[in-house]
Amino acid sequence: MAAKIKIATTSLAGCFGCHMSFLDIDERLLKLADSVEFDRSPLTDIEHCGPCDIGLIEGGVCNSENVHVLREFRANCKILIAVGACAINGGLPALRNFFKLEDCLLEAYQDGIGVDNPQIPSDPELPLLLDKVRPVHEIVKIDYFMPGCPPSADVFWHYLSALIEGRDPTLPYELVHYD
């Protein structure tokens, strides 16, 4: 039996919708399990990404921990895929880029409607926020971009099937149109 392809996934600054869409491949997960083994992912309890064939990155980069995880994935994954709008262009989290970080923190934690006990979190355990939310390709080299918000389960299946078969993934029109 051929060695299984190893896949790792992570969610950075996003809503986890891309992972939910990935899980929506439903019974095809069983077929996928015949060909792949999961490293770090929501399906495992693995904390760090080890050597992998494919890495799937959901979400933009908004803090120092995101940068660390993204660099760890790039160092350990032969193929790295930016998954969804947040990873590709910052998505909704990047809307804060139109404001100063300090203003966002003040509105959310101090001056906003309904804020009780106003104070900006300062626990040293919290990762340092970046001034702007960045798409992942601004931090590391990305091999493929999987569009969508989120990409459909069929897009995930099409991409992963192509890569498992040793082909470059290309998406037919019917998988990327939104009309």
Beta-carbon contacts of 175 under 8 Å, excluding residues fewer than 6 positions away, are: 152, 154, 155, 158
Torsion of Cα atoms, 41 then 44 then 49 then 52, to 10°? -80
Nearest to 49 by CA among 14, 80, 18: 80
Tell whether the model's pLDDT for residue 178 goes beyond 80. no
Q: pLDDT for 114-155, tens place per residue?
A: 999 999 999 999 999 999 999 999 999 999 999 999 999 999
